[in-house]
Structure 1
Amino acid sequence: MTGNGVPGPFPPAGGPQQQPQQGFGYQQQYGGGQQPPPPAAHAPYPGQAPHPGQAPYGGQAPHPGQAPYAAPAPAPAKKGKAGLVILLVVALLVLGGAGVGGWFLLNGSSADEAVLWSQPGYKGKMPPGESVKQVEGTWTTDKAVIQTMPDGVKAYDLATGNRLWATRIPGDSNTTCSAPRQSEGGVGIVAYGDNKACNHLVAYDLDTGKQLWTKEIKNKPNSKPKPGDSFTPGDTNPDDIKDNYLARSGGVVVTQGTAGAQAFKVSDGSPAWTPERSAKCDGASYTGGKALIRVRACHTKPVLGKPYDEVSLIDPDTGKAKWTHTFRPEGEDGLDAGMAIGGRVISTDPVVLYPEREDMGIIALDSETGKIRSRFAPRTPAKYVQTWGPEGTPWMEAAAFGKTFVMSVSEAQEANLLVAYDLDSGKLLWKTKPDKSKDFHPLVDTDGGKVLVYERLNSSDKGPELAEYNAATGARKTLAEYPTTVAHGLDLFARPTVRKNTLFLSAIADRTFNPNEAYGLIALKMSAPE
Structure 2
Amino acid sequence: MSQPPQPPQQPQPPQQPPNEPPSGEPSGPASTPPAGGFGAPQDPPPGGFGAPVPPPADPFGKQPPSGPPVPPAGGYGVPPHPGAYPTPPAPQPNGYGYGYPQAPQPGYGYPQGPPGQPSATHQGYGYPTQPAHPRYGGPQPDGGGGRKLGAQARIIIAAAVAVVLIIGAGVIYASSGDDGTRGAEASSAGTTGSGNKGGEGGGLDGGEEEAPVNARSKVAFQLPQPEVDDVTSVAGSWLTDKAYVKTGVDEIVAHDLDKGTKLWSVPLAGEVCAASRHMSADYRTAILFEESKPTKQKKYPSCNQVGVVDLNTGKLLWSKSVTAATGGDEPIRFEEVTLSGGTVAAGGTRGGAAFRLEDGAELWKPKVGTDGCYDLGYAGGEALAVVRKCGSYDDPKLSIQALDPATGAPLSSYRMPPGVAYASIVSTKPLVAAADVGDTAGDGSAVSDFFSIDAATGKLIVRISADAEKYAARCGSTDVERCRYAVVGGNRLYLPTESHDGTGEYGDTNEIVAFDLTTGKLLGGRADAGDRYNLLPLRMDGTNVIAYKEPPYDKGGQVVSVDGRSFEQTLLMENPGDRSVREAETRFSTDHSELLYSDGRFFLSKEMISERRDSQADEKLYLALAYRTD
Per the normalisation by structure 1, the TM-score is 0.64
Alignment-mate amino acid for residue 351 of structure 1? L
Partner of 1:425: 519
Partner of 1:346: 426
Any idea what SS the aligned residue of 2:479 has? coil
Aligned residues: 407
1:402 to 484, 490, 510: 490
1:197 aligns to 2:294 (yes or no)? no
1:125 aligns to 2:222 (yes or no)? no
1:371 aligns to 2:459 (yes or no)? yes
> Would the aligned equivalents of 1:275 and 1:319 in 2 still touch at CA under 8 Å?
no
Partner of 2:275: 179
Partner of 2:546: 452
Partner of 1:151: 250
Deviation at 1:321, TM superposition (A): 1.4
Any idea what SS the aligned residue of 1:212 has? strand
1:327 to 416, 436, 439: 416
Partner of 2:128: none
* Residues 293/518 of structure 1: CA separation in 2 closer, same or farther (3 Å cut): same
* Residues 444/155 of structure 1: CA separation in 2 closer, same or farther (3 Å cut): same
CA–CA distance in structure 1, aligned partners of residues 563 and 336 of structure 2: 36
Residues 218-229 of structure 1 correspond to what in structure 2 (within 5 A)? Answer: 218=323
1:249-291: CA deviations, max 9, x gaps?
A: 2222222235421222222223122467543352222232312
1:216 aligns to 2:321 (yes or no)? yes
Residues 95-106 of structure 1 correspond to what in structure 2 (within 5 A)? Answer: none
CA–CA distance in structure 2, aligned partners of residues 324 and 155 of structure 1: 40
CA–CA distance in structure 1, aligned partners of residues 339 and 576 of structure 2: 35
* % identical aligned pairs: 24
Partner of 2:125: none
1:69 aligns to 2:17 (yes or no)? no
1:253 aligns to 2:344 (yes or no)? yes
> Would the aligned equivalents of 1:205 and 1:211 in 2 still touch at CA under 8 Å?
yes
1:499 aligns to 2:598 (yes or no)? yes
Unaligned runs of 5+ in 1: 1-42, 45-49, 77-108, 225-239, 330-335
Partner of 2:504: none
Any idea what SS the aligned residue of 1:317 has? coil
Deviation at 1:463, TM superposition (A): 0.8
CA–CA distance in structure 2, aligned partners of residues 186 and 213 of structure 1: 15
2:380 to 284, 289, 293: 289
Deviation at 1:434, TM superposition (A): 9.4
2:538 to 424, 443, 446: 443
Partner of 2:404: 315
1:27-53: CA deviations, max 9, x gaps?
A: xxxxxxxxxxxxxxxx99xxxxx9996
Deviation at 1:444, TM superposition (A): 1.4
Per the normalisation by structure 2, the TM-score is 0.55
CA–CA distance in structure 1, aligned partners of residues 415 and 559 of structure 2: 40
Deviation at 1:294, TM superposition (A): 1.2
* Residues 412/243 of structure 1: CA separation in 2 closer, same or farther (3 Å cut): farther
Partner of 1:355: 435
Alignment-mate amino acid for residue 307 of structure 2? V
CA–CA distance in structure 1, aligned partners of residues 623 and 477 of structure 2: 18
Deviation at 1:154, TM superposition (A): 0.6
Q: Which moved more, 1:371-380 or 1:142-151?
A: 371-380
Greater RCO between the two (CA within 8 Å, min separation 6)?
2
CA–CA distance in structure 2, aligned partners of residues 115 and 388 of structure 1: 34
Q: Which moved more, 1:241-250 or 1:133-142?
A: 241-250
CA RMSD of aligned residues (A): 4.3
Unaligned runs of 5+ in 2: 1-9, 12-16, 50-212, 294-299, 441-447, 502-507
> Would the aligned equivalents of 1:307 and 1:328 in 2 still touch at CA under 8 Å?
no
CA–CA distance in structure 1, aligned partners of residues 18 and 302 of structure 2: 31
Deviation at 1:176, TM superposition (A): 1.9
Any idea what SS the aligned residue of 1:267 has? coil
* Residues 438/347 of structure 1: CA separation in 2 closer, same or farther (3 Å cut): farther
* Residues 411/115 of structure 1: CA separation in 2 closer, same or farther (3 Å cut): closer
1:482 aligns to 2:575 (yes or no)? yes
> Would the aligned equivalents of 1:443 and 1:496 in 2 still touch at CA under 8 Å?
yes
Partner of 1:265: 356
* Residues 412/379 of structure 1: CA separation in 2 closer, same or farther (3 Å cut): same
CA–CA distance in structure 2, aligned partners of residues 218 and 316 of structure 1: 20
Partner of 2:154: none
CA–CA distance in structure 2, aligned partners of residues 371 and 422 of structure 1: 17
1:165 aligns to 2:264 (yes or no)? yes
CA–CA distance in structure 2, aligned partners of residues 308 and 424 of structure 1: 25
CA–CA distance in structure 1, aligned partners of residues 241 and 412 of structure 2: 35
Partner of 1:466: 559
CA–CA distance in structure 1, aligned partners of residues 416 and 570 of structure 2: 41
